[in-house]
Amino acid sequence: MKIESVQTVVVNAKLRNWVFVKVTADDGTIGWGEASLEWQARAVAGAVADLTPILLGQDPRRIEHLWQAMYRDHFFKGGVVTMSAISGVDQALWDLKARHLGVPAYELLGGAVRDTLRMYDHLGGGDSAAVYGDASIEGFGAAARRAVDDGFTALKILAVPSGGGLPSNADLAGAAALMATVREAVGDDVDIMVDLHGRTTAAGALAYGRALAEFRPWFFEEPCAPGNPRELAEVARALPFPVATGERLIALTEFREHLAQGACAVLQPDICHVGGPTGLKKIAAFAESHEIPLAPHNPLGPIATAVNQHVAFATPGVIIQEVMRSDVPWRDDVVTGTFPIVGGEIGIPDGPGWGIEVDEEAAALHPYVPELQITTRNRDGSVADW
């Protein structure tokens, strides 16, 4: 068996372009992966094309060998664009091999370690206007209640405004009001995660933590911008609830440093940026050695969701999985066979590979469109983190 072609299929999904990767073997077996990266879809597609000469003519079943070749054959290693491309190819190779053998992918990844997987929702089910729009009390409670009515027992909110490293009293009061509204809407038994999106300094994160502590966040996600694990560790030690991070960490060494510093209680690697299942399993082993659980990051498309679900069923440290289920209304037209979420959980996946199929004709109805540019500014006009 040899790799005959490596292709990308880019699908516009409003805020994001999904970058699907299709690997085809000479016997006709195919595998699908996802390498989506906001605002850099064309760069990732180009990176996949740059990796293709390494792959053509190779045995697709030698997954670790090909991962090493993609990562090490070129002199400059890593970077989010290259690692996203490697991630998409790696996912496709696991899918292809599992389809070739006629087994679900989680069986190749070690077999099931659990019977069900808990999923968590976003406001509006992942609609970008609800998740990333201007925070306002109006609609927050109703959107959160809809998630609970749909069976979810956990949801994530972005309750902290962008702009400024230190929150004003009005910022703190506004975030507390939003959190109070959501807590009142969903009750005490629903776990609420608060995403700070790396918008604040360590001092700002602590201020928000004190303001929101009474509403019992399940964890604070990315309270500081990535790149300074010592600062994040100070926040993690000072807050009375867990800190999570990892969605913008790429290299294995970055995760190693965060674990060594005690910078978080939960790791959130993104399978579309850390090297696919091959990379994520290595991170999971690191985390297990530190007794740190995983809540993998996944605001992306349906292939990434299926991949995360299979990996979670084969990885003991995963405690919950993120899903964007309503980002675009035609999501299930493009990718079929996705796993139904019942009572906020899914059962063990079925079918060979990832268990999903891509309708390329449906995908072609939503060709690449440049993502909406988000220009986040402070009150004085200076640039702020999104």
Reading the block at residue 152, the tokens are 């979810």
Report phi then psi at 94, rounded to 5.
Answer: -65, -40
Instruction: Tell me the residue type at 251.
Output: A
How many CB atoms within 10 Å of residue 115? 9
Check if 122 is active-site.
Answer: no
Q: Is 197 marked active-site?
A: yes
Distance of CA 261 to the CA centre of its chain: 23
Say if CB 255 and CB 269 are below 8 A apart.
Answer: yes
* Structure tokens that stand for 361 in this block: 């004709």
CA distance 251 to 246: 10
Specify the 3-state DSSP secondary structure of 294: strand
Q: 236-268 burial by CB neighbour count: b if 16+ within 10 A, else e?
A: beebebbbbbbbbbbbbebbbebbebbbbbbbb
Marked catalytic residue, from 122, 258, 273, 297: 297
| Residue of 100, 197, 273, 366 marked catalytic | 197
What is the three-class DSSP state of 148? helix
Q: Which residues are catalytic?
A: 197, 297
